[in-house]
Amino acid sequence: MQPLKQKIQTLANEYYPHVQSIRHHIHSHPELSFQEHNTAAFIEAELKAIGITSMRSVARTGIVALIEGRNPHSKCIALRADMDALPIQEENDTPYRSQNDGVMHACGHDVHSSCLLGAARILHNTRQEWDGTVKLIFQPGEEKHPGGASLMIADGALENPKPSAIFALHVYPHLPTGTTGFRAGQYMASADEVYITIEGKGGHAALPHQTIDPIAISALVISGLQQVISRRSNPLIPSVLTFGRIAGGFATNVIPGKVEILGTFRAMDEKWRYEAHKLIKDFTEQTCAAYGAKATVEIPVGYPMLFNDPDLTHKATAWAQDYVGNHNVHELDMRMAAEDFSFYTQHMPGCFFRIGTNREDKEFLAPVHNPRFDINEESMITGMGIMAWCAVQALQ
């Protein structure tokens, strides 16, 4: 396999200028979740230019394509990239800055798609040197509920053929270019939105005894729920309840009739996740009832916890160490952020890893979801190479 590894490394460097131009185009023309029509058309054209014609549309704006090596029916491995952008106004002044006002690739999905197209070019070039089939999944809507991954799966993206494992990478501005990061087991949290409406009885601020004050009750609910989560959860299982918006009231001297509270609940354990949903609902309804108010609690189920298959991830870590050197492979910390790649890992072993994107810990340090986020584009050489290398190694 060493000659193949060296060929992959050579091709990654050779294809880098073209992959860089791909990234510039996608970054300049970002599209929001489930609106990636032009992005999908561009990616489809790139795949056809490589010579990959076995593809189909999935979940409207998603693409599934196949690269067949020798003995293509022996095994299948999937590689996934997301395509959607965020509703953020870009503040970078680069030739490839967003041309769509209020929309930006601030989470690196342009990088992910570009790396997968680079890996596709490498794999197509080397297809006579490995056995099996690589399934490419270009996915819409990672940033928006219910998650493009769930829709892709429902639309058959994992069938015909069904992969035995799946990989995805993600940009990571906390590590320098040329490095990667892996974590086996629990890695990212589940994410559920919390919507609470408290209905009381409005009136004059000077006559609170004639009202049922939903603002005062909302303070009790918010404070109390923090105690519920921290006191009822196993302290060894991370979970977070955060409220990001409270809306209610009109003036200093008016008690409103209604308050709305919006938040998010994150957990690293699926059993506790659903237990917490019930606790949040019961506590809120009972607290409001005790003060004469009515509560409506909605917790739409979002992305599940992301679990990296330990065996696959340990192997991928070793493959990455072989590819970039032991000192360039890091163990990642748990993150309470969420990723809809977790839907795929409910159907097969998965490995979600990171590529470093800053330059010597001095440049490109803006975090994701920031209007100044950008990357050292040479990190894509590592990204496309490791994607291709993990695929051919997993097929053996």
Active site residue 36: no
Q: Which of 84, 90, 110, 192 is catalytic?
A: 84
Active site residue 374: no
Diameter of the chain measured on Cα atoms: 82
Q: Cα(142)–Cα(47) distance, rounded to whole angstroms?
A: 21
Torsion angle, alpha carbons of 32, 34, 46, 56, to 10: 180
Cβ contact 273:267 at 8 Å: yes
Q: Which of 36, 142, 309, 377 is catalytic?
A: 142
Cβ contact 114:382 at 8 Å: no
Q: Cα(368)–Cα(356) distance, rounded to whole angstroms?
A: 13
Q: Cα(148)–Cα(345) distance, rounded to whole angstroms?
A: 14
Backbone angles phi, psi at 327, to 5 degrees: -70, -10
CA neighbor of 59 nearest in space, from 153, 188, 162: 153
- CA-atom Rg of the chain in angstroms: 24
Q: Cα(135)–Cα(235) distance, rounded to whole angstroms?
A: 40
Whether residue 146 is preceded by a cis peptide bond, meaning omega within 30 degrees of 0, is: yes
Tokens encoding 120: 């596709």
Torsion angle, alpha carbons of 307, 369, 112, 334, to 10: -20
Q: Which helix H or strand E contains 344, and what residues bound it?
A: helix 342-345
Catalytic residue numbers, as ranges: 84, 142
